[in-house]
A and B are shown apart, each in its own frame.
Chain A
Amino acid sequence: MHRVSPRAVWYWTARAAILWIVLIAPQVIWWLADSDGSALPHLIVGAVWLVLAAVHLVVMPQWRYRVHRWEATETAVYTQTGWLSQERRIAPISRVQTVDSERGPIEQLFKLANVTVTTASAAGPIKIDGLAAADADRLVADLTTRVGETTGDAT
C-alpha cells in the first residue's frame, strides 16, 4: 500500500491557506474601511478565525497524510482518502473506462499530479491526490496498458 508524496502535505496546506485567505480578506478590508467603530469586535472575530485557520492548517494536512493510501494491482485500484470523513474506494480494472491525469497550478508548484480513474458509474471515480509527478505518469501508463488488456464495455 503506497502513501502519497510527502510534498502533498504542503500542497494541502497551500490549498487550504488560499481558501482561508479568501474567507478572511474581506473581513480585513472591512476592518480597515470601518475606521470610526470600536476595533474590539473585529479583533475578537479575527482572533477566532485565525485560531480556526491555524488549527485547520496544521491538523488537516497531517491527518490527511496519515489516512491517504493508494494501490493499483493487476486487477483493481484502491484509494483511501479524507480526514474527518474518510472514504475507501475500490474499482476492478476490468470496469475502468478512463484514466485521467491532471496537474493544477498549485500542484505544479510542488511537482505533484493527481490521477483520476473513472468507471461507467457516475458515483465511482477514484481520485488519487498528491502523487509525485513521475509516479503519476508511471501509474497512468501502467493502468492504461492493464485496462487495454481487458475486454467488454465495462458496464
Chain B
Amino acid sequence: MTTAIGPADEAVLDTEAPWRRLSPRMLAVHPVLELRRLIVPLLALLVGAQNGNSGEGGWWALGIGVLGIGLGFLRYFTTSFRITPTHVQVKRGLLRRRVLTVPRDRIRTVDVTSNLLHRIFGLARVTVGTGQTDKKNDGVKLDGLSAAAAENLHRELLHRPAAKQNLQTDAAVRPKPAEAPAETMLAKLDPAWIKYGPFTLSGLVAIGVLFGLGSRLVNEGHVDLGKIGYVHDTLDYLGRQALPVAILLVAAVVVVFTVIASTIGYVLTFWNFRLSRHDSGTLHVRRGLLTTRDTTIEERRLRGVELSEPLLLRSVRGARVLAIATGLRVGRGGDRGGSVLLPPAPRAIAAEVAGTVIGDAGPLTVALTPHGPRARRRRFTRAATVSGVLILIVLAVVLLGGAPWPAFWSALVLLPLGALLAFDRAASLGHALDEGWLVSRFGSVVRRRYVLRTDAVIGWNMRTSFFQRRAGLTTLVATTAGGHQRYALPDVPDAEALRVARAAVPGLLNQFLAD
C-alpha cells in the first residue's frame, strides 16, 4: 500500500498545442553515430584480416550495427513532442508507444549538448531534468533538434513566462532571440587555468579507455603482441633493465601520458567556459571545445555548492566548484558533469565564484569547528587498522604463497603512508553553521567542503557505530533533495551533533531528544 502525497495531477492538457518533430537532419547523423559505435569491431576485423584470422565477433557486430542504423532512422519517424502551457509531452516508440508527460513546473534543469557531429549538422540534444530520484526514468531526452530550435526550447522551458506559442514545427522555427533576459557574467575560463589540467588526473581515465580499446582490438583481431616488432623490442629492453629501473621507466611513461592527456582533456571539456546568471533566475554554464554543453540550473532549485579539492589539485592550490541542486544528480552516466560551476581553477577564485553563486561569501571562508581529539584518534586507528590488515595479508602471501620477502618489506611503507593520510584527514574535518548555511568539510584524497542551505535539510540521520559510541562520536547526516542526497558531518562529538542539528532546523529535534 503506497499513498502518494502531493498536489493531484489534474492533467488538464491543452490539446491545441501542435506536435513537433526532431530535425530531419538527424537522419544524416544517426547512421554515423551508429557507425562510430562499430569502429572497434571494424578495426578488429581489419587487423584480424591482416593477421590472417577472421574475427567472427566483428561480423556479428556489423549485423547488429546495420540493424541499429535502421532503428536510428525509425527513431526520427516515431519521436514527436509538444509543449503546452502546462506540460511537456514526448511520444516515442514503434511497437510500444509511450507518451511521457512532464508538468512544466517540475522542470529543474535543461541541458543542451552538441558533440562534433551534431555541430557539423547544426543540431543539439536537449535533456530536460525533472529531478526524479527514480533511476529507470531518465526524463525527457530529445536528441537531434536543430540548434536554433534547441535554443528556443531552452528559453521557452526555463525562462517563464513561456514564450509565445508560435513554434509550429521544427522547420518553421524562427531563430528569434527576442526576450533574452539580461545576463551577468560570473566567471570565464582564464587560459592560465589550463595549467591545473595535469593535476586533475582525468588523463588516467583516458589511458584506461585506450588500454581497454587496445586490449579489445588485440582480442578480437587475434593479434599476438609478441610478434609486433615494436612491442617486442620495448618489452625486451625493459626485461634487460633492473626491476626498479623498469618500474621507474614505466611509471615515468604513464606520468607523461597522464599529464598530456589530462591537459588535452581539460581543454576539450572546459574551453570557452562561461558561468553567468540570468535575470530570470537561472544559472547558465556553457563549455566545451568540440562537444559543447549548455546547462541551465534554476536558482530556486539551488541548495548549495561544493568546493572540491582533490589531493593533487590541492597541492597546487587549485579547486573546483560544483552545484548542489535538486534535479541534478551527481555523477550518473550522461548527467556527470552537469553540476560543474567552475573547472579546476585557483582556490581563491573558486571560493569567490562559489560565494557569488550562493550570494554569500561567508560559508566559504568561515573558520570551521574541528571535531576534536577523539575524531582525530579515530582517523589514526582506522588508518592503522587498514594498513595492518593489508600488511598481514601480504605476510600471509609471503609465508604461505612463497612470495619474495621484499614484498613484505615494501608493504611496511603502508604504515607511514596511512599515518600521513590520517593526519590530513583529521586536519580536513570541520563543520560550521553560518547564517542559514550548514558547512561541512572532510576527506583527504578528495577534500570537499559542502555548503548547504539549512532550509534545504529535509531530515537528519544520526549514525553511531559500536566504536563511535565508545568514543562519544556521532556521524550527523543532513539529507536533502539535491546532489548527493546526503551530506555528512563525520565523527562529531555527540553534544555538538545535537547542537548543530537543533540550531540548523529549530524545533525539530527537541520533540524527541532532550539535552
Contact = CB atoms under 8 A, between A and B. Distances in A.
A155 interface: yes
A121 B462 contact: no
A142 to B, nearest CB: 12
29 contacts: A71-B511, A75-B507, A75-B508, A78-B512, A85-B466, A86-B463, A87-B463, A87-B464, A88-B513, A89-B460, A89-B461, A90-B509, A91-B459, A91-B479, A95-B459, A97-B4, A98-B3, A119-B458, A119-B459, A119-B481, A121-B480, A122-B133, A122-B485, A124-B459, A124-B485, A140-B1, A154-B481, A155-B326, A155-B482
Contacts of A101: 1
The 5 closest A-B pairs by CB, nearest first: A123-B486, A124-B479, A91-B459, A120-B481, A121-B479
Contact of B463 (A85, A95, A98, A126): A85
Contact of B460 (A71, A90, A102, A155): A90
Given A91-B459, A95-B459, A153-B6, A86 B464 contact: yes
A76 B506 CA distance: 12
B505 to A, nearest CB: 7
Interface of A: 1, 71, 73, 75-76, 78, 84-92, 95-102, 119-124, 126, 140, 144, 147-148, 153-155
Contact of B505 (A1, A92, A100): A92
Nearest to B458: A95
Interface in B499-515: 501, 505, 507-509, 511-513
B315 interface: no
B459 A90 contact: yes
Interface in B409-465: 458-465
Contacts of A123: 461, 477, 479, 484-486
A148 B3 CA distance: 10
Nearest to B501: A90
B66 to A, nearest CB: 40
A98 B4 contact: yes
A124 B106 CA distance: 21
B469 interface: yes
Contacts of A86: 463-464, 469
A84 B466 contact: yes
Given A99-B3, A148-B5, A121 B512 contact: no
Contacts, number: 113
B131 interface: yes
Given A75-B507, A85-B464, A120-B481, A99 B459 contact: no
Contacts of A87: 461-464
Contacts of A78: 511-512
Given A89-B462, A120-B458, 4 more contacts: A120-B481, A124-B461, A124-B485, A154-B458
A98 B486 CA distance: 19
A84 to B, nearest CB: 5
Contact of B512 (A76, A100, A147, A154): A76
Nearest to B7: A153
B15 interface: no
B514 to A, nearest CB: 11
Contacts of B513: 88
B2 interface: yes
Contact of B5 (A88, A92, A97, A124): A97
Interface string B170-214: 000000000000000000000000000000000000000000000
Contacts of A99: 2-3, 5
A91 B459 CA distance: 4
Given A89-B459, A100-B2, A144-B3, A120 B512 contact: no
A147 B7 CA distance: 11
B466 A88 contact: no
Contacts of B133: 120, 122
B512 A71 contact: yes
A121 B485 contact: yes
Nearest to A97: B5
A120 B133 CA distance: 8
Interface in B1-28: 1-7
Nearest to B477: A123
B507 A121 contact: no
A153 B131 CA distance: 12
A36 to B, nearest CB: 26
B511 A140 contact: no
A90 B512 contact: yes
B5 A76 contact: no
Contacts of B466: 84-85
Given A119-B459, A121-B485, A122-B485, A144 B465 contact: no
Contacts of B481: 119-121, 154-155
Contacts of B459: 89-92, 95, 119, 121, 124, 126
